[in-house]
Amino acid sequence: MNKPRVLINSTSATSITRNTDREELHPAASGQRWHIIRLYLTAILLLSSMFTVYVWQSTKMVEVKLRIKSVENDINNLENANADLRGEISKLQSLARIESVAKNDLGMVEATRLVYITMPDKWNNRP
């Protein structure tokens, strides 16, 4: 079957031309439309750039917080190691330990007799 053909009558043709002529009749409306589109695009661009900066700033804050946490852990570890070393130093400097090492490891004995040596007077006088 053949499809019926629709012919455009003159009234519908004028309505089509009116739609296209509308822009030509009102160039200010077309310019205003482009102005509004530019405003929307500018607003979208600004909002997206603000969002990007916000996300970047948030990630930097998280990175800085992680770095601070890491440094705090390092400080705590070093303070604990420092306290351990101070305890070891005080243990090694104790007189009882020094005496024990001298007697047992080095074979030293305590003096049973004290000998005093007098020094000449000229050595006692300091200039």
pLDDT in tens, 88-98: 999 999 999 99
pTM: 0.48
Asked if the structure places residue 115 within a domain, the reply is no
Its domain, for residue 81, covers: 14-103
Is position 94 within any domain?
yes
Q: Is 32 contained in some domain?
A: yes
Number of folded domains in the chain?
A: 1
Cα 110 to Cα 49, 100, 102, 114, 119: the distances in Å are 84, 11, 10, 11, 24
Whether 8 is in a domain gets the answer no
pLDDT value, residue 110: 87
In angstroms, how far is the first alpha carbon of the chain from the final one?
A: 140
Reading the block at residue 106, the tokens are: 């080095």
pLDDT at 127 over 90: no
Q: Which of 96, 99, 95 is nearest to 108 (CA)?
A: 99
pLDDT number for residue 123: 76
- Give the chain's mean pLDDT: 84
- The CA distance from 38 to 32, in Å, is 10
Annotate 28-40 with b (16+ C-beta within 10 A) or e (fewer).
eeeeeeeeeeeee
Specify if 49 maps to a domain: yes
- The verdict on residue 89 lying in a domain is yes
In a domain, 96, yes or no: yes
Q: Is residue 61 part of a domain?
A: yes
- Residue 41, pLDDT above cutoff 70: yes
pLDDT of residue 59: 97
pLDDT in the model for residue 2: 67
Q: Is the pLDDT of residue 79 over 80?
A: yes
